[in-house]
Amino acid sequence: MAGLAKGLAVIEAFGQVSRLTVAEAAQRTDITRAAARRCLLTLTDLGYLTHDGKNFRPTPRMLRLGGAYLDTASLPTLARPHLTAARDALTESVSLAVWEDGGSVFVARAEAKRIVSTGVRIGARLPGHCSATGRVLLAGMSDEEVAAYLAAGGRERRTTHTVVAPDELTAIVRAARADGYATSDEELELGLRAVAVPVRDARGVTVAAMSVSASSARVTAAEMHRAFVPVLAAEASLLSRKL
């Protein structure tokens, strides 16, 4: 079971990168290089990874692991038509994310047809403090839960615009709770803006965040607030009724 746990940790290490060396896998998973190497080679033998002599990369077989959730979970399935409707209305990619281990994880997405994508793939994880989805999901928590999250620290300053101070983030989360949406303006990546709204279940509990990300060269912050929020809110409300 310890070996299984290490192998799963190595698999999760590929969540935000396309390739890993033995040393990088060991560092990301906090296991020894010998253990990381054994896990990587075993996953390669099983067809989940390829190895070029230095780097290990995921193969399409890796999709089977996530597919077990994506194909059977009701939330991504129910969300797809609403993500598609919002995408068609805005001509921008629309995503659905849930909270997991201090960040937002994307579980469904309707991709817009663009040469350069500004979004994230299904399974990707974004930090809670500086992503629009993370802030909406934090806004759905109690003040005590938000305070505990902020007290844990570990907030990375991704750009010069990233807010990391606890007092400022508390105010941002409270504003998202009051306004019904949250934004991230070049805090994750320069040139990228995002807005997100909550998806609530029958009890009124926030269970997901529906979001749009777009290039700052293509969409202004004012336009995102004026045009994107109503569309997202309408589709999120329709999805909430199904829950």
pTM to 2 decimal places: 0.72
Domains annotated on the chain, with CATH: 2-61 (1.10.10.10), 73-242 (3.30.450.40)
- d(CA 179, CA 40) in angstroms, rounded, equals 46
Answer yes or no: are the C-beta atoms of 87 and 112 closer than 8 Å.
yes
Residue 107 near residue 126 (C-beta atoms within 8 A): no
Q: What is the pLDDT of residue 75?
A: 86
CA 212/CA 228 separation, integer angstroms: 8
Q: Which range is least confidently modeled, 113-127, 147-161, 219-233?
A: 113-127
CA distances in angstroms from 168 to 54, 154, 175, 221, listed in the order given: 43, 16, 11, 19
**What pLDDT does residue 68 have?**
61
pLDDT digits (tens, 9 = 90+) for 62-112: 877 776 665 556 888 889 999 999 999 999 999 999 998 889 999 999 988
- What was the pLDDT predicted at 199? 96
Please give the C-alpha separations between residue 207 and each of 38, 76, 109, 116, 154, in angstroms, as whole numbers. 37, 12, 16, 30, 24
